[in-house]
Structure 1
Amino acid sequence: MTERSQLRLLGASRQTITAAEVAAVFDVGRLTQARRLAGLTKAALAMQVGVSAAAISQWEARTSPPRPDHLTRLAEVLDVPIEFFAAGRPHAQLDGSAAHFRSLRSTRSSQRAKAIAFVEQVWELAYALEKYIQFPPVDLPGFPPDDGDDRTPTSPAEAARALRVRWGLGVGPIPHLVRTLEMHGIVTTMVPFAGVDTATIDAFSTSRMPRPLIVLTPDRGDDVCWHRFTAAHELGHLVLHRNAAPGDPEQEHEADAFAAEFLTPAAQIRDQLPTRFDVTSLQRLSTEWGVSLKSLVYRCRELGTISDASARRAYQRLNQLYELRLIGSDSVANYAGEKPNLLHKAFELAETNGMLTMPTLAHELRWRLPRLRLLLGHYDERPILQLVENHTDAATPANAAQ
């Protein structure tokens, strides 16, 4: 029996594994993943562990494994159980160039690395849950099990219309877009996976996993219309750019065109669009179709119901109304069908049927419980109270006694 097999059996029989046992089956990919999730460079991690940056590089390059005492310190610094670093469980390593970031140029490489590592963990969670719960099958062109139809739409708008037909969505508004994505096998998530840095990482998607995956960031959830358009934009990447290298600005334009047609089909909405700037009409259409006022103005210009000059004036007027707070946005928190729920519901079903508990799933993944709760969407949304010592206070026990 190999050391890896022995460790797998040992991990199944007891809850803790020693550092020496992990060192014998050390997985360098796990170190890289944990370091990126923590947002640390090799030099920064080395400083906290108390080794040289060259040592971290050697560990990640497989030239030499860390000692057991180094593993113990790595686990402390990176906030993972020590058995997290052990080989022997599924790990879908994703290349950093395999994800479409909506704002690629403004997303730093360290942020992209953190986001990619997060996607790897989302896949691991989905994989673990699928051993107990049957997920909806993936239903997207080009993804197994596809029907093998080679007829590829020649434009983003045609691709959007074809997907509407394929999914049986009809020609009207899509009331629950994110729920619709999940019903067709697309894993979707929206959690603060990078802490406060999540707000600076825009939405992204990848088709390089066994299941397509869309990551929506919580800051976009403050505006349900923007949130829906972002989700449709990422869906466009999955449909149009599955095998294309991300980063091309033209791909972003194509994903926008796909989203516009998918959410507001031209043949249906053209006759409903106003021929002049009319806030009341735009607000009615915004509520009905679930798209923003600015998106509707763009659609008016795109479909020729208003001129370019009229569109510019409309944008200026809308900006004024937003600044005066005479119109505002609506939070996605008010729309259950726009909040990702697939992973959360899968775990609940497994738990209800006595297949899983939170601790057993965390142990299977070799994660800490708070990390599992976060990825399942069970994170605590309450503000964090931080107490700071004020050295200028006069009424303290020490000086009160003087």
Structure 2
Amino acid sequence: MRTDQPLLPGLDETELPPRAVYDGFDPARLTQARRLAGMTKKEVAERIGVTPAAVGQHETGVAKPRPELIPLLAEVLGVPLTFFVGGRPSNRLDASMAHFRSLRSTPKAQRERALAYAEQVWELTYALEKRVQLPLVDLPGFAGGEVHPGEAISADPRIAARELRQLWGLGRGPVTHLVRRMETHGVIVVTPDKADEAANMVDAFSSRTARPLAVLTPNRADDVFRHRFTAAHELGHLVLHSDATGDSQQEREADTFAAEFLTPAESLLPLLPQRLDLAVLAELRRTWGVSVHSLIYRARELGLISDATASRGYQRLRALGQQPGFAPEPVSDYPGEQPVILAKAFELAQREKGMTVDQLAQELSWHPSRVRELLGMAEQARPVLRLV
């Protein structure tokens, strides 16, 4: 992690000549910009009129791009000219530092693009945290924890889930406002805009950076119950796994953690019907905030129904998929399940420190639209002129 001051503070891209950018050129920033744009070295090379080998040399630091090519690079990759200047705080991530759901089905290029997105979330968080004190990291098992620094937690996912519920004072009942609770305990949670391909190519991921991060990618069904389980799954990774191996064992452990965290066996078992009853499960879905599919799986896991009964239940559930009580419910209908921590931090910095989007964008060397995007702020639409 680099936390130096900007090389040329106080200058915006209109004041900075390409030669000055050349002098302060950071090859890692070129790699980040290319990955965010979802482009290969070959594609960038074709757009700026050089060879792929030359782009590779620019990214490894063997050779810098010629000054006259730098404005073209900025245009092709959609970043300000100053984006390539080194010295800004950064936190380089690789695949070993992040847990990806459906890792095996996610191509390397898409993982790299998502990691570049996470790097920018870290940079934005760092910039805001210089001005606003965010909630302390209260996550046992997380080395950077501020409330329980380095405190061990059970390696057994079920026990770990129960321990975390106890430490967070959640009792034995349903966990309401899960995402908000994660943020309250110092986890940075973000849900990318559906148009942001940099993060939406993967089915959620988390990273144990200096501050824990969970990226909850919007799913096609827009289902709050799936969304909550995904959040609990990523929370399990943050608690249980210091290194991301990408193997199926870690994924199963995170799923086991999520199931026990959201629906503790001791509390749920007396409530589950002895025979499969989808109407009863639909009521439990509403109370516990988990899908009926998950409850069927839980009933089978706890020995109440057989594998064959569970399979029949899934078939019947598919037929009811769009009926009230069984249909997906949008995340937007549940305020406590939508991330707000970065937007609220910016609002506080704006109110108390006079911070503006443009100032933040200049500090980060991003376009203002990118700052608004990561803060979850909708672009202001132009007023419509109506002639009567």
Contact 2:262/2:288 (8 A) holds in 1: yes
Return the offset for 1:19: 1.0
Larger-gyration structure (1/2): 1
Aligned to 2:175: 174
User: Does residue 196 of structure 2 align to residue 195 of structure 1?
Assistant: yes
User: Does residue 134 of structure 2 align to residue 135 of structure 1?
Assistant: yes
State the distance in 2 between where 1:95 and 1:140 align.
22
User: What are the residue-to-residue correspondences of 1:273-292 with 2, within 5 Å?
Assistant: 273-292=272-291
SS of corresponding position for 2:93? coil
Return the offset for 1:271: 0.3
Aligned to 1:389: none
SS of corresponding position for 1:205? strand
User: Does residue 109 of structure 2 align to residue 110 of structure 1?
Assistant: yes
Residue identity opposite 2:166 in structure 1? V
The structure-2 alpha-carbon separation of the partners of 1:151 and 1:342, relative to structure 1 and needing over 3 Å to count, comes to closer
SS of corresponding position for 1:65? coil
Aligned to 1:270: 269
Aligned to 1:229: 229
SS of corresponding position for 2:104? coil
Aligned to 1:94: 93
State the distance in 2 between where 1:309 and 1:74 align.
58
State the distance in 2 between where 1:306 and 1:32 align.
52
Aligned to 1:213: 213
State the distance in 2 between where 1:183 and 1:10 align.
34
TM-score computed with the length of structure 1 as normaliser: 0.89
Aligned to 1:26: 25
The structure-2 alpha-carbon separation of the partners of 1:335 and 1:21, relative to structure 1 and needing over 3 Å to count, comes to same
Return the offset for 1:15: 6.3
Deviates more, 1:46-55 or 1:179-188: 46-55
Contact 2:7/2:88 (8 A) holds in 1: no
The structure-2 alpha-carbon separation of the partners of 1:370 and 1:160, relative to structure 1 and needing over 3 Å to count, comes to same
SS of corresponding position for 1:105? helix
Residue identity opposite 1:296 in structure 2? L
Residue identity opposite 2:370 in structure 1? R
TM-score computed with the length of structure 2 as normaliser: 0.92
The structure-2 alpha-carbon separation of the partners of 1:220 and 1:344, relative to structure 1 and needing over 3 Å to count, comes to farther
Contact 1:114/1:194 (8 A) holds in 2: no
State the distance in 2 between where 1:301 and 1:221 align.
24
SS of corresponding position for 2:103? coil
- What is the RMSD computed on CA atoms of the aligned residues? 2.2
State the distance in 1 between where 2:150 and 2:127 align.
31
The structure-2 alpha-carbon separation of the partners of 1:368 and 1:378, relative to structure 1 and needing over 3 Å to count, comes to same
State the distance in 1 between where 2:155 and 2:325 align.
42
Return the offset for 1:192: 2.9
SS of corresponding position for 2:219? helix
Aligned to 2:363: 364
User: What are the residue-to-residue correspondences of 1:2-401 with 2, within 5 Å?
Assistant: 7-11=7-11, 16-142=15-141, 143-144=143-144, 145=146, 147=148, 151-192=152-193, 195-196=196-197, 198-207=199-208, 209-219=209-219, 222-242=222-242, 244-322=243-321, 327-380=326-379
State the distance in 1 between where 2:76 and 2:188 align.
30
State the distance in 2 between where 1:292 and 1:158 align.
22
Structure 2 unaligned residues grouped into runs of 5+: 382-388
State the distance in 1 between where 2:197 and 2:123 align.
24
State the distance in 2 between where 1:6 and 1:155 align.
44
Aligned to 1:385: none
Runs of 4+ residues over 2 Å off in structure 1: 4-12, 142-152, 192-200, 323-327, 379-382
SS of corresponding position for 1:100? strand
> What number of residue pairs does the alignment pair up?
376
